[in-house]
A and B are shown apart, each in its own frame.
Chain A
Amino acid sequence: MKILIIEDEEGLRESIAEYFTEAGNICETAASYSMALTKVELYRYDCILLDITLPGGGDGISILKKLKENNYTDGVLIISAKNSLDDRLQGLDLGADDYLVKPFHLSELKARVSAIIRRKMYNGSNLLLFNELSIDLQAKTVKVHDTSVKFTRKEFDLLIYFIANKGKVVSKNAIAEHLWGDGIDIADNFDFIYSHIKNIRKKLVEAGGNDYIEAAYGMGYKFTGK
C-alpha cells in the first residue's frame, strides 16, 4: 500500500507515518500545499490523507479538486480540525472517500484508510479474508474454516476494526469512541468493552479459529496477526 500523508503539523504527521509504516506499506509525507501538489502530480497513491488547512498558498480542498480534474482515482480521506458540516459535505461532494475530524485515534484512522483501500483494490468485492477467517462486509457474516459464526453488530464492527489494526495495541478509549461515537461520553466504565471482546474470542475459538485478541497491560487490546 502506498500512502501520502498531507499534514502541516509535524507531530501529527510523524505519528501517523510511524503508525502506518509496516511491512508492505510505503508512507510518504508532505508538509505544505506546494509539496503536496508536486507529489500528487507525480505519483499515484492508494490513499491520500488530506488536511484541509495547509500553509503555502492553497488548501486541501484545492488539492482534492486537482485530483478529480485529472481523474486520478487515489482514495482520499480528509482530516480536518473543522468539524463543520459544510466542509464535510463539500469534501465528500468533491469526491473524498471519507472525513475524519481532529482529534482522532490512530487506530480509527487506520480502520478508515483500510476500508477505503479495500473498496478501491477489490473493486466492489466485499470479502475480507484473514487466515482462516472469511468476512463478508456486505452481508455482515463471518465464517471460520467455512463454519458460520453469528456476531452481533458491535462484535462484527469490532472484529473488522481489530483486523485493520492487527499487530497494534488499540486503547480502550479508541474502542469506545469507535463503537459509540465520540459524542457519547461514557468514559467512566469500560466493562462493556471487555464483555464484547470476551464474546468475540469465545465465538472464534469455539468455531475452531485462533485466539487472536490479547489484552495489553490493561490499557487496551491487541489483535495478533500470527
Chain B
Amino acid sequence: MKLLALYNRVNIITTIIVMIITGILYYMAISWILNGQNDKALRVEEDEVFDYVKLNHQLPQVFDSKDQQISFTEVAPNSVTRKFINTKYHNGKSGYEAGRGLISSVTVNGKYYKILIVESKVETEDLIQIIFSITVGVVLFLLLILQIANRLILNRLWQPFYSILKELKLFNITDNLEITQTATKIEEFNELNKVAITMAAKAKHDYKDLKAFTENASHELLTPIAVINSKLDTLIQTENFSEKQSKLLTDLYSAVSRLSRLNQSLLLLVKIENRLLPEEQNVNLHELITELLQQLEDIFQDKRLTITSILEDKQIVANRYLIEILLSNLIINAVRHNYEGGDIIINLTQSSLTIKNTGNITPLPGTKIFTRFHKSSGSDGSGLGLTISKQICENFNFALSYQFLSPHHTFVITF
C-alpha cells in the first residue's frame, strides 16, 4: 500500500468520524432548541386556555388553526399529569405529520378536563432537514477538497523520494552511472539522497578495487606462466629423457596448462563483468553449434558418444566470442561428465537452447553449480566454466538453468 493511500485512508476515516459526531451533536442541539420553542408556544396556548377559563368559567371554543389543535376530554378528577409528548398532528388534507403535544388539565365548574394541545412540527423538521443537508454538503465538499489537496501536495512533497528511489533501482554496481543529486528543500530527503550517494560510491569503489585486484593478479600471473610454458617447450628439445622424466614433464605440462586456463577464465570473468566485450553482432547459433560439433567430432568418437542435434535456424544479437565460449563450455561439460557410450541431445528452438547429457545419475546441486570454484568430485575443469556461462547469459539477458530429468542432466538457455 502506498504511503499516500494509507495517509488518505486514515485522513478520510478520521474526517468522516469527526464529521458524523459533529453532525449528531449539531442535530441534537438544534432539535433541543427548536423543541424548546415548540414547547414555549404550547405553554402560551395553555396559559390562554387557563386565562379564558378563569375569566369565563367555561371551556374555550375549540377551533383548528393552521398548525395547532386543542381538544378537551372529560376524565376522572386528578387522573392527568402534565407532560410534553411527541405525537402525531392530523392536518386536514394529507393525513398525519410529526407534532409536539402538551397534556394538561383544567377544572371547569367542578368538572375535570384533560387538555391536549398539539402543534405541527413540520416547519421545524424542514428547518432541521435544510440545516442537515447543508451540513452534509459541507462535509462532502470538505472531503473532496481534502482529497484533492492531499493528492496534489503529497505527490509533490514525495516527488524527490520517488526520484531517489528510481535512481536506487537503476543502480548497478558494475556500470559507470553515479546516483545523481535530486534537488529538494526537504531535509529528510536531502539526507536520504546524500546517504544513498555515499553508499553507492563506496560500494562501487570497493567493487572496483576488488575487480582491479583480480585483474592485476591474473595479469601478473600471465608472464610467469608464459615463461614456464616456453621453458618447458625448450626443455623437451634437449633429448634423451628417461621414462620417469618424461612422465614428470607430462604432468608439469598439464598442470601449467590448467593453471593458464584457470587464469584465462578469471580474466575472462572480469572482462564480462566489466562489460569490456561490447561488440555485438548477429550470431547464427545454428551455424555456430554445427561448427563446434564438427570440431569436437573426434572427441565424441573417442568416448563413443551419440550426438543428437535438432537445430532450428536461430539468430541472436550478441558478442560472437562470448557465445562461442558459452557453447563450448556447455558442450565440453556434457562430454566431460558423460560416460563411455552415453549420449548428448542438443535442441535449438526459437526460444531456447537445451543441452542434455547422460552421466552420473545423481542430480547436481542446482544453485551451487553456478558459483565460483564449485566442482564435482573427479572433475579436472577449472570450476569456473559454469560461472562464466552464467555470466555470459546474464550479460545478454538470457536465463541459464539446470534440471535433472533422469537420465539426463539438462541445461537450458532461455533467450
Residues of A within 8 A of B (CB): 9, 11-12, 15-16, 18-19, 81-86, 102-107, 154, 168-169, 171-174, 177, 180-189, 191-192, 195-196, 216-220
User: Would A219 and B234 count as touching, CB distance under 8 A?
Assistant: no
Could you tell me which residues of chain B, from 160 to 178, have a CB within 8 Å of some CB in chain A?
Answer: none
Could you tell me which residues of chain B, from 328 to 345, have a CB within 8 Å of some CB in chain A?
Answer: 328, 332, 335-336
Please indicate the chain B residues that have their CB under 8 angstroms from the CB of A16 in the complex: 230
Please indicate the chain A residues that have their CB under 8 angstroms from the CB of B361 in the complex: none
A-B residue pairs in contact (CB < 8 Å), sample of 26: A11-B227, A11-B231, A19-B230, A19-B234, A19-B237, A102-B222, A102-B226, A103-B222, A103-B225, A103-B226, A106-B230, A171-B232, A171-B233, A172-B250, A172-B253, A182-B264, A183-B324, A185-B258, A186-B299, A186-B332, A186-B336, A188-B336, A191-B302, A192-B302, A218-B246, A219-B253
User: Would A185 and B381 count as touching, CB distance under 8 A?
Assistant: yes
User: Would B243 and A187 count as touching, CB distance under 8 A?
Assistant: no
B236 at the interface (CB under 8 A from A): yes
Minimum C-beta distance from B9 to chain A (A): 57
Chain B residue at minimum C-beta to C-beta distance from A196? B298
CB-contact partner of B247 in A169, A188, A191, A218, under 8 A: A218
Known pairs A183-B325, A187-B254; list 12 more (Cβ under 8 Å): A15-B230, A81-B219, A86-B276, A104-B229, A105-B233, A106-B234, A180-B295, A180-B296, A183-B264, A185-B258, A186-B299, A219-B246
6 nearest A-B pairs in the assembled complex, by CB-CB distance:
A217-B246, A15-B230, A103-B226, A11-B227, A106-B233, A102-B226
User: Would A83 and B233 count as touching, CB distance under 8 A?
Assistant: no
Complex Cα distance, B261 from A195, in Å, reads: 25
User: Would B219 and A219 count as touching, CB distance under 8 A?
Assistant: no
B191 at the interface (CB under 8 A from A): no
User: Would B223 and A81 count as touching, CB distance under 8 A?
Assistant: yes
Please indicate the chain A residues that have their CB under 8 angstroms from the CB of B234 in the complex: 15, 18-19, 106
Please indicate the chain B residues that have their CB under 8 angstroms from the CB of A106 in the complex: 230, 233-234
User: Would A84 and B271 count as touching, CB distance under 8 A?
Assistant: yes
Which among B264, B268, B325 has the greatest number of chain A C-beta atoms within 10 A? B264
Please indicate the chain B residues that have their CB under 8 angstroms from the CB of A12 in the complex: 223, 226-227, 230
B396 at the interface (CB under 8 A from A): no
Please indicate the chain A residues that have their CB under 8 angstroms from the CB of B332 in the complex: 184-186
Please indicate the chain A residues that have their CB under 8 angstroms from the CB of B227 in the complex: 9, 11-12, 15
Chain A proximity mask over B244-266: 1 for CB below 8 Å, otherwise 0: 01110110011011101100100
B35 at the interface (CB under 8 A from A): no
User: Would B226 and A219 count as touching, CB distance under 8 A?
Assistant: no
Given contacts A81-B219, A169-B236, A219-B241, is CB(A154)–CB(B298) below 8 Å? yes
Chain A residue at minimum C-beta to C-beta distance from B268? A83
Minimum C-beta distance from B3 to chain A (A): 48
Please indicate the chain A residues that have their CB under 8 angstroms from the CB of B271 in the complex: 84
CB-contact partner of B258 in A177, A187, A217, under 8 A: A187
User: Would A219 and B250 count as touching, CB distance under 8 A?
Assistant: yes
User: Would B260 and A171 count as touching, CB distance under 8 A?
Assistant: no
B382 at the interface (CB under 8 A from A): yes
Please indicate the chain B residues that have their CB under 8 angstroms from the CB of A172 in the complex: 250, 253
B321 at the interface (CB under 8 A from A): yes
Chain A residue at minimum C-beta to C-beta distance from B247? A218
Minimum C-beta distance from B299 to chain A (A): 6
User: Would B336 and A81 count as touching, CB distance under 8 A?
Assistant: no
User: Would B226 and A220 count as touching, CB distance under 8 A?
Assistant: no
User: Would B233 and A19 count as touching, CB distance under 8 A?
Assistant: yes
Please indicate the chain B residues that have their CB under 8 angstroms from the CB of A104 in the complex: 226, 229
B188 at the interface (CB under 8 A from A): no
Minimum C-beta distance from B265 to chain A (A): 9
User: Would A185 and B261 count as touching, CB distance under 8 A?
Assistant: yes
CB-contact partner of A216 in B226, B236, B380, under 8 A: B236
Complex Cα distance, B114 from A103, in Å, reads: 126
CB-contact partner of B257 in A154, A173, A216, A217, under 8 A: A173
Please indicate the chain B residues that have their CB under 8 angstroms from the CB of A188 in the complex: 336, 380
User: Would B298 and A183 count as touching, CB distance under 8 A?
Assistant: no
Complex Cα distance, B247 from A12, in Å, reads: 24
Please indicate the chain A residues that have their CB under 8 angstroms from the CB of B254 in the complex: 173, 187
Please indicate the chain B residues that have their CB under 8 angstroms from the CB of A181 in the complex: 328
Minimum C-beta distance from B295 to chain A (A): 7
User: Would A85 and B321 count as touching, CB distance under 8 A?
Assistant: yes
Please indicate the chain B residues that have their CB under 8 angstroms from the CB of A185 in the complex: 258, 261, 332, 381-382, 385
B24 at the interface (CB under 8 A from A): no
User: Would A83 and B298 count as touching, CB distance under 8 A?
Assistant: no
Complex Cα distance, B295 from A181, in Å, reads: 10
User: Would A169 and B237 count as touching, CB distance under 8 A?
Assistant: yes
Minimum C-beta distance from A166 to chain B (A): 12
Complex Cα distance, B21 from A18, in Å, reads: 103
Complex Cα distance, B277 from A124, in Å, reads: 34
Complex Cα distance, B66 from A199, in Å, reads: 131
B279 at the interface (CB under 8 A from A): yes
User: Would A81 and B226 count as touching, CB distance under 8 A?
Assistant: yes
Complex Cα distance, B298 from A185, in Å, reads: 15
User: Would B233 and A15 count as touching, CB distance under 8 A?
Assistant: yes
User: Would A189 and B226 count as touching, CB distance under 8 A?
Assistant: no
Please indicate the chain B residues that have their CB under 8 angstroms from the CB of A103 in the complex: 222, 225-226, 228-230, 256, 260
B267 at the interface (CB under 8 A from A): yes
Minimum C-beta distance from B288 to chain A (A): 13
Chain A proximity mask over B207-241: 1 for CB below 8 Å, otherwise 0: 00000000000010011011111111110110001
User: Would B243 and A182 count as touching, CB distance under 8 A?
Assistant: no
Chain B residue at minimum C-beta to C-beta distance from A220? B236
User: Would A189 and B222 count as touching, CB distance under 8 A?
Assistant: no
